[in-house]
């Protein structure tokens, strides 16, 4: 009890002195702000990527691909497609047809708005079961493509990022004009994706196999049974995977890079901020030598001194954390970045802010410890004699 | 010269504080070096790629095949020196996770001028002689224990005429590739052998590599090739290796804003911390500075000595920080193969360190030089 009272009294004295030494306190604050701001904004890229990748993922979606190959690059023959339609556990559409989407993906060229930079984006040929497979898909203009025709529908992010995706625009594919007939939003997903009729796309690109097959299950719980049925069927050389696993695999490299960069930069800046905090708090403690010796002389213990300096350090670091997270939020939240060719909207989430605060507290603790120990070891007699 | 001991003892007046400032500056410049090195390194890589080697591929999609028959027409474009047909496919060696890229080329006269490969002359000769020859990357020789003369079996999605998906090639030598997107596990084989042996897509290529006789003609040749095939069933898109590298690495360029913000934040935090710290130590040293002035040191001399202390710490710390950056750079740079730390970044970093030292020492040094002797000696 006495310990606590002493600590509180010392803390009050210490904090009232902050106003007299604004620059030392500001050093801690600015250092922590910058470190937390950098960490949070880098992590926001990873969080944004994740939100985007996983935004459209559903637990009842299953992707089929050739065993041992990446879905999207498989060759699935029409013979196999007939077998797939007969598998158990597949949800039925309004007309009783199984909700299976046969896909053929290719990449075609687009130009960025403004800069005119060329990038390749995926064009996915799909069967018309797509709208039932993706109930989140909402048309914001135009209509669904008609099977057998040279028509495309595009997600709104495409239209925002690239030229040539307004309704009625045409683009030449192997000498044939394809018309943009619809624009859609798809839940949280921010990816640019273009859909067309799978048979038209396959004939335009002279293909005769599907690159992957997407299946909607009656419920997510049917997955194991479905996977076993696929594996047991001698006519299929396919593997069933959760959509989330496929997406996870696709973005594994990107996520790993973003994660590494965020913590690499974050830790280095945190180290710098901690060193700065140590130095500033040493300076604060040094300028209070007389005062500290006095309180020791009148009976305060070393423990409360350590505690009060540590708490002071934490209290200086905490506003830095809030400020840093706040800055990251105002500067970067919702900003589009496109690291390594992926288009990502940075997302500063509360959990990231919490991570930032946690880091700041660690910086405060580590930065406060050595000065706190020195404060507790102030030699009473010499310090008082220096008066 | 005679002031050096004075500066030196100034630095070690409070060793703990100087060491902490040193470490802080060191850390800041290590980060600066790595981030700025990534940015500048990528820009330099783009500049190094060859503008005189062109790649002709289908206009439409990334992997759309072109007929081999276009070769003669491309060759007849004025300014074209060499045209090499290229086919690409994937294969695995023994287990599915040992993936290899196979590049099939036609090693005609001068074919190497359209590539960024380095191959010993005897290997080039052997490669031309043997139909089933394969050149492998040096890393693969180590990884899989392959040696010259080995017969290596590969499994591919591409079927042979017989229906089999097994392929085998004879290793005749090794090569290195200085290209960015070259990949590390690739082997070179003969296009003609492969094309004759495969079941489907005969007579098609993924792209043509074109070397122009004069780099100045590259743009004209590019336009002329695309013009010749415009409105045909096989429209082409020709681009130089440099343009390709640019679009590949553009995405990293998009990170510039973030890198600039972080480097900015680091420097601001650093400047504030060091300036405060120096102001603090200058205040503590008022009586000593007063003594110096009493001994006849002018304001300018005091100013310079404080500045010199800051410079010494900053320059030493920045040098070690940038040295550290050079050491850890390979770790951070494995995102982009072939990236190395550009020396210009080290030079810019040192210049920044000098500027930072000047800025953070300016206020305390000015304060010290204007110090009133009586007030200073009294410690007021």
Question: For B323-339, how does the pLDDT look when each residue is reduced to its tens digit (9 = 90+)?
Answer: 999 988 887 666 666 67
Per-residue pLDDT reduced to its tens digit, B52-70? 889 898 876 666 788 999 9
Phi, psi dihedrals of residue B231, rounded to the nearest 5°: 60, 15
- Cβ of B17 and A276 within 8 Å? no
Chain A nearest CA to B325, separation (Å): 11
Are A172 and A159 in contact by the 8 Å Cβ rule? The answer is no
The pLDDT confidence band at residue A339, using thresholds 50, 70 and 90, is low
Selected for mutation to probe chain B from A192, A279, A329 (highest B CB count within 10 Å) is: A279
- Cβ of A337 and B252 within 8 Å? no
Write the residue in A41, A278, A337 that is nearest to B20 by C-beta. Answer: A278
pLDDT of residue A336: 67
Mean pLDDT of chain B: 85
Per-residue pLDDT at A334 exceeds 80: no
Strand spans (E) along chain A: 61-66, 100-111, 118-126, 137-142, 151-155, 170-173, 176-186, 194-197, 212-216, 238-242, 336-337, 344-345
In chain A, residues 317-376 whose CB comes closer than 8 Å to chain B: 331, 337-342
Chain A nearest CA to B117, separation (Å): 26
> CA A341, CA A119: separation in Å to the nearest integer?
8
Per-residue pLDDT at A265 exceeds 60: yes
Most confident of A29-33, A337-341, B29-33, B315-319: B315-319
Give the tokens for residue A226: 């479905």
Chain B hits for A276, Cβ within 8 Å? 20, 24, 269-270, 273
A200 vs B45 pLDDT, higher one:
A200
C-alpha dihedral (B122, B126, B128, B133), degrees to nearest 10: -140
Per-residue pLDDT reduced to its tens digit, A293-311? 888 888 888 889 899 999 9
Per-residue pLDDT reduced to its tens digit, A315-327? 989 999 999 999 8
Chain A hits for B273, Cβ within 8 Å? 27, 30-31, 276, 279-280
Write the residue in B35, B265, B276 that is nearest to A23 by C-beta. Answer: B276
In chain A, residues 70-99 whose CB comes closer than 8 Å to chain B: 75
| Mean pLDDT to the nearest integer, A329-344 | 69
In chain B, residues 72-91 whose CB comes closer than 8 Å to chain A: none
- Cβ of A27 and B279 within 8 Å? no
| Mean pLDDT to the nearest integer, A5-18 | 84
pTM: 0.74
pLDDT of residue B179: 67
- Cβ of A108 and B60 within 8 Å? yes
Chain B nearest CA to A317, separation (Å): 14
Considering all CA atoms of chain A, what is the largest pairwise distance in Å, rounded to the nearest integer? 97
Q: Does B154 touch chain A (CB under 8 A)?
A: no
Residue position matching structure tokens 């690409």 = B88
The pLDDT confidence band at residue A386, using thresholds 50, 70 and 90, is low
Chain B hits for A31, Cβ within 8 Å? 269, 272-273
Most confident of A119-123, B234-238, B308-312: B308-312
Selected for mutation to probe chain A from B15, B21, B27 (highest A CB count within 10 Å) is: B27
Q: Does B253 touch chain A (CB under 8 A)?
A: no
Q: Does A271 touch chain B (CB under 8 A)?
A: yes
- Cβ of B273 and A283 within 8 Å? no
- Cβ of B277 and A35 within 8 Å? no
Per-residue pLDDT at A363 exceeds 70: yes
Model ipTM?
0.73
Chain B hits for A34, Cβ within 8 Å? 265-266, 268-269
- Cβ of A107 and B63 within 8 Å? yes
Of A260-274, A311-325, B52-66, B271-285, the range with the lowest mean pLDDT is B52-66
In chain B, residues 10-39 whose CB comes closer than 8 Å to chain A: 16-17, 20-21, 23-24, 27-28, 30-31, 34-35
Write the residue in B16, B27, B252 that is nearest to A272 by C-beta. Answer: B27
The pLDDT confidence band at residue B51, using thresholds 50, 70 and 90, is confident
In chain A, residues 104-133 whose CB comes closer than 8 Å to chain B: 106-109, 117-120, 123
Write the residue in A119, A269, A278 that is nearest to B31 by C-beta. Answer: A269
Chain A hits for B254, Cβ within 8 Å? 337-339
Selected for mutation to probe chain B from A121, A162, A175, A275 (highest B CB count within 10 Å) is: A275
Per-residue pLDDT at B18 exceeds 80: yes
> CA A244, CA A61: separation in Å to the nearest integer?
8
Chain A hits for B258, Cβ within 8 Å? 41-42, 45, 337
Residue A217 DSSP symbol: B
Residue A91 DSSP symbol: P
> CA B277, CA B267: separation in Å to the nearest integer?
15
In chain B, residues 167-226 whose CB comes closer than 8 Å to chain A: none
Write the residue in B21, B272, B284 that is nearest to A26 by C-beta. Answer: B272
Give the tokens for residue B66: 């072109």
For residue A69, what is the nearest residue in chain B, using CA coordinates?
A: B96
pLDDT of residue B193: 92
Write the residue in B17, B247, B265 that is nearest to A118 by C-beta. Answer: B247
């Amino acid at each position: 009890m006495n310990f606590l009272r002493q600590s509180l009294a010392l803390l009050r004295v210490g904090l009232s002195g902050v106003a007299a030494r604004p620059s030392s306190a500001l050093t801690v604050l600015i250092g922590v702000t910058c470190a937390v701001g950098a960490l949070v904004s880098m992590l926001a890229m990873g969080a944004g990527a994740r939100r985007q990748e996983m935004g459209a993922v559903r637990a009842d979606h299953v992707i089929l691909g050739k065993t041992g190959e990446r879905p999207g690059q498989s060759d699935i023959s029409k013979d196999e497609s007939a077998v797939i339609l007969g598998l158990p556990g597949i949800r039925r559409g309004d007309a009783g047809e199984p909700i299976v989407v046969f896909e053929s993906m290719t990449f075609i060229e687009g130009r960025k708005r403004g800069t005119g930079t060329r990038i390749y984006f995926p064009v996915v040929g799909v069967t018309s079961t797509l709208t039932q497979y993706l109930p989140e898909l909402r048309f914001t203009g135009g209509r669904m493509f008609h099977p057998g025709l040279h028509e495309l529908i595009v997600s709104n992010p495409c239209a925002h990022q690239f030229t040539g995706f307004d309704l009625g625009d045409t683009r030449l594919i192997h000498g044939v004009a394809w018309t943009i007939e619809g624009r859609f939003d798809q839940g949280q997903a921010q990816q640019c994706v273009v859909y067309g009729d799978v048979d038209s796309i396959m004939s335009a690109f002279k293909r005769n196999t599907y690159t992957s097959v997407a299946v909607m299950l009656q419920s997510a719980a049917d997955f194991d049974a479905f996977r076993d049925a696929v594996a047991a069927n001698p006519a299929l050389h396919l593997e069933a995977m959760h959509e989330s696993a496929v997406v996870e695999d696709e973005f594994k490299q990107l996520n790993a890079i973003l994660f590494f960069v965020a913590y690499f930069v974050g830790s280095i800046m945190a180290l710098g901020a901690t060193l700065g905090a140590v130095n500033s708090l040493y300076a604060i403690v040094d300028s209070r030598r007389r005062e500290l010796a006095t309180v020791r002389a009148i009976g305060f213990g070393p423990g409360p001194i350590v505690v009060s300096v540590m708490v002071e350090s934490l209290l200086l670091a905490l506003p830095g954390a809030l400020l840093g997270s706040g800055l990251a939020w105002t500067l970067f939240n919702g900003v589009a970045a496109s690291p390594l060719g992926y288009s990502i909207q940075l997302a500063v989430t509360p959990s990231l802010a919490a991570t930032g605060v946690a880091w700041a507290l660690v910086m405060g603790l580590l930065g406060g410890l050595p000065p706190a120990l020195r404060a507790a070891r102030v030699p009473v007699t010499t310090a008082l004699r220096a008066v | 010269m005679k002031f050096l001991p004075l500066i030196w003892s100034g630095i070690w007046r409070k060793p703990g504080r100087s060491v902490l400032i040193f470490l802080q500056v060191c850390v800041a410049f290590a980060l600066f070096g790595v981030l700025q090195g990534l940015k500048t390194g990528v820009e330099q890589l783009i500049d190094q790629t060859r503008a005189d080697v062109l790649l002709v591929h289908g206009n439409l999609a990334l992997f759309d095949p072109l007929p081999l028959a276009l070769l003669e027409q491309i060759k007849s474009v004025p300014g074209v020196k060499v045209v090499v047909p290229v086919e690409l496919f994937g294969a695995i060696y023994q287990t599915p996770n040992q993936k290899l890229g196979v590049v099939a080329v036609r090693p005609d006269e001068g074919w190497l001028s359209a590539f960024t490969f380095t191959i010993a002359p005897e290997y080039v000769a052997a490669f031309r002689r043997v139909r089933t020859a394969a050149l492998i990357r040096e890393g693969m020789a180590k990884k899989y224990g392959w040696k010259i003369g080995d017969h290596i079996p590969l499994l591919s999605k591409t079927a042979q005429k017989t229906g089999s998906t097994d392929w085998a090639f004879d290793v005749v030598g090794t090569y290195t590739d200085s290209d960015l997107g070259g990949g590390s596990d690739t082997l070179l084989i003969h296009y003609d052998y492969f094309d004759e042996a495969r079941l489907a897509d005969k007579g098609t290529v993924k792209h043509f590599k074109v070397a122009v006789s004069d780099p100045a003609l590259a743009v004209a040749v590019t336009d002329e090739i695309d013009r010749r095939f415009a409105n045909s069933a096989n429209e082409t898109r020709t681009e130089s290796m440099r343009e390709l590298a640019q679009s590949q690495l553009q995405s990293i360029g998009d990170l510039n804003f973030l890198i600039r913000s972080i480097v900015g934040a680091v420097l601001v935090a650093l400047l504030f911390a060091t300036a405060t710290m120096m102001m603090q130590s200058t205040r503590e040293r008022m009586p000593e500075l007063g003594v110096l002035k009493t001994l006849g040191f002018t304001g300018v001399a005091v100013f310079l000595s404080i500045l010199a202390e800051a410079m010494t710490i900053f320059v030493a710390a920045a040098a070690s920080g940038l040295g550290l950056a050079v050491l850890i750079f390979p770790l951070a740079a494995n995102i982009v193969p072939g990236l190395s730390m550009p020396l210009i970044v080290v030079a810019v970093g040192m210049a920044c360190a000098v500027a930072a030292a000047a800025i953070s020492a300016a206020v305390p040094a000015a304060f010290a030089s204007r110090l009133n002797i009586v007030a200073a000696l009294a410690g007021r």
